[in-house]
Amino acid sequence: MKLLNPTFVTFYIILLFFLFGTPSMGYTQNPDSLQAHFTVYQVDSLIQANATNPDFCLMDVRTQAEYTPEHLEGAINRIYNGPGFDSLLNLLPRHKMYVLYCLSGGRSGNTFTLMVSMGFPNVINMLGGITEWKNAGFSTTPDFAPLQMAVSDTIITNDKVNIGTTDTIHLTVTNRANDTLRFTFVTSLVGLEFSTDFDTTTTLEGPFDYTFSIFYTPTDTLTDFITFRIESNGGPVQFHVTRTGEMPLTGFDDLRFTIYELRITNYPNPFSASTTIAFELEEPGQVEIGIVNQFGQVVDNIFMEGQKGTNRLTWDARLLPAGIYMCRIAVGDKISTRKLILVK
């Protein structure tokens, strides 16, 4: 999903000036900011232009009694004369664009000045407030609803990751509207080369973001992909992630390894406390067994004299958190891996 970048938004605003005239009072423009007072017609066009922009926020600064019966669709509320108003503004994400309004423009104009002084780069004050908005024939609503949108690109292009190591992909969603966003379902990644730290108990008030991670730990040189879907009471979003495993350049002690099929098995898998790891050797030799977590950290390292034929050892994981671990077995200059699934 391609989002409106600051350059495009600035270009669109300049186009609005030609269509509707120059905005009144205190307009500041540079490539990284937009601080202006817009007419209701310009604000309406701006809302339409940013319909798919997750970093766009309408903010009503009237009292709750004024705001609750009618407001612009999706607008959040911060009460101008309410307690801790400055502190509430200071909590808002700085990277978003805020369009401010009140009843007639006085309170929103003062809020505009305050937010500019606080370092918000993109702030627009709607001249005439909701009164002028309605006089121009634009609609209001008494409704409240959340709206989930993806802040990150939804197509994560392919990259190569060393076998036995973990690549971390950071993704962000947001609530762009004015009711609490609650997550109801996320795609299960159990049994895949992918895992996630997404917390379905997280709730989001508009206009805040939630950043989570997807971890990729390849076990072979094949290309893997997932479509990670997040459902909520504010609608679904999904991300498509592609990654490819490649032969590692370094091993446990910075030696070059080649991929070697050791026919590793473990049982049970998944397991809750310990698991038996078994592997076959064609010749006896020194064996190094490393256990790596989803963050690429070595949590256990075991050395043993391997025998020709079947070798077994029991790995105790009772003190470790649930998750996906990689078992890497190195014999000489050869290495093989297997995924271990620890549940609690």
Whether residue 17 has pLDDT greater than 60: no
Do residues 239 and 221 touch, judged by C-beta distance below 8 A? no
Pairing of strands 56-60, 97-101: parallel
Q: Any idea how long the chain is?
A: 344
In a domain, 241, yes or no: yes
Domain end residue (candidates: 82, 106, 135): 135
Q: Are residues 188 and 239 in the same domain?
A: yes
What pLDDT digit, counting tens, does each position of 89-115 carry?
999 999 999 999 999 999 999 999 999
Res 184: pLDDT: 97
Mean local confidence (pLDDT), 266-280: 88
Res 334: pLDDT: 73
Q: Are residues 120 and 180 in the same domain?
A: no
Res 130: pLDDT: 98
Q: Are residues 166 and 52 in the same domain?
A: no
User: Distance between CA atoms of 23 and 303, rounded to whole angstroms?
Assistant: 73
Res 296: pLDDT: 65
How confident is residue 223, by pLDDT bands cut at 50, 70 and 90? confident
In a domain, 177, yes or no: yes
Domain end residue (candidates: 187, 222, 246): 246
Q: Are residues 241 and 327 in the same domain?
A: no
Q: Are residues 27 and 113 in the same domain?
A: yes
Total count of domains within the chain: 3
How confident is residue 241, by pLDDT bands cut at 50, 70 and 90? very high
Q: Are residues 115 and 19 in the same domain?
A: yes
In a domain, 300, yes or no: yes
Kindly state the percentage of the chain with pLDDT values over 90: 61
Q: Are residues 15 and 53 in the same domain?
A: yes
Torsion angle, CA of 132/138/143/146, rounded to 10 degrees? -100
In a domain, 219, yes or no: yes
Mean pLDDT of the chain: 86
Mean local confidence (pLDDT), 57-80: 98
Mean local confidence (pLDDT), 138-165: 94
Q: Are residues 11 and 113 in the same domain?
A: yes
Mean local confidence (pLDDT), 260-288: 83
Q: Which of 254, 261, 184 is nearest to 221 (CA)?
A: 261
Res 187: pLDDT: 92
Q: Are residues 154 and 109 in the same domain?
A: no
How confident is residue 236, by pLDDT bands cut at 50, 70 and 90? very high
In a domain, 305, yes or no: yes
| Residue-number span of the structural domain to which 127 is assigned | 6-135
In a domain, 143, yes or no: no
Mean local confidence (pLDDT), 48-58: 96
Whether residue 256 has pLDDT greater than 60: no
Torsion angle, CA of 10/11/13/17, rounded to 10 degrees? 140
Domain end residue (candidates: 217, 246, 275): 246
| Residue 244 Cα distances to 17, 111, 212, 226, 329, angstroms | 48, 49, 21, 12, 21
Q: Residue 288 sits in a domain of what CATH number?
A: 2.60.40.1930
CB atoms within 10 A of CB 93: 14
Res 248: pLDDT: 61
Res 295: pLDDT: 65
* Residue 326, beta-bridge partner list: 292, 339
How confident is residue 276, by pLDDT bands cut at 50, 70 and 90? very high
Q: Are residues 262 and 242 in the same domain?
A: no
| Buried/exposed code over 300-314 (b: 16+ C-beta within 10 A; e: otherwise) | eeeeeebeeeebeee
User: Distance between CA atoms of 324 and 327, rounded to whole angstroms?
Assistant: 10
- The least confident of 70-74, 173-177, 284-288 is 284-288
Q: Residue 210 sits in a domain of what CATH number?
A: 2.60.40.10
Res 63: pLDDT: 98
Q: Are residues 105 and 15 in the same domain?
A: yes
How confident is residue 153, by pLDDT bands cut at 50, 70 and 90? very high
SS (H, E, C) the chain: CCCCCHHHHHHHHHHHHHHHCCCEEEEEEECCEEEEEECHHHHHHHHHHCCCCCCEEEEECCCHHHHCCCECCCCEECCCCCCCHHHHHHCCCCCCEEEEECCCCHHHHHHHHHHHHCCCCEEEEECCHHHHHHHCCCCCECCCCCCEEECCCCEECCCEEECCCCEEEEEEEEECCCCCEEEEEECCCCCCCEEECCCCCCEECCCCEEEEEEEECCCCCCEEEEEEEEEECCCCEEEEEEEEEECCCCCCCCCCCEECCCCCEEECCCECCEEEEEEEECCCEEEEEEEECCCCCEEEEEEEEECCEEEEEEEECCCCCCEEEEEEEEECCEEEEEEEEECC
- The least confident of 6-20, 184-198, 301-315 is 6-20
How confident is residue 21, by pLDDT bands cut at 50, 70 and 90? very low
In a domain, 234, yes or no: yes
Q: Are residues 238 and 307 in the same domain?
A: no
In a domain, 141, yes or no: no
Res 330: pLDDT: 83
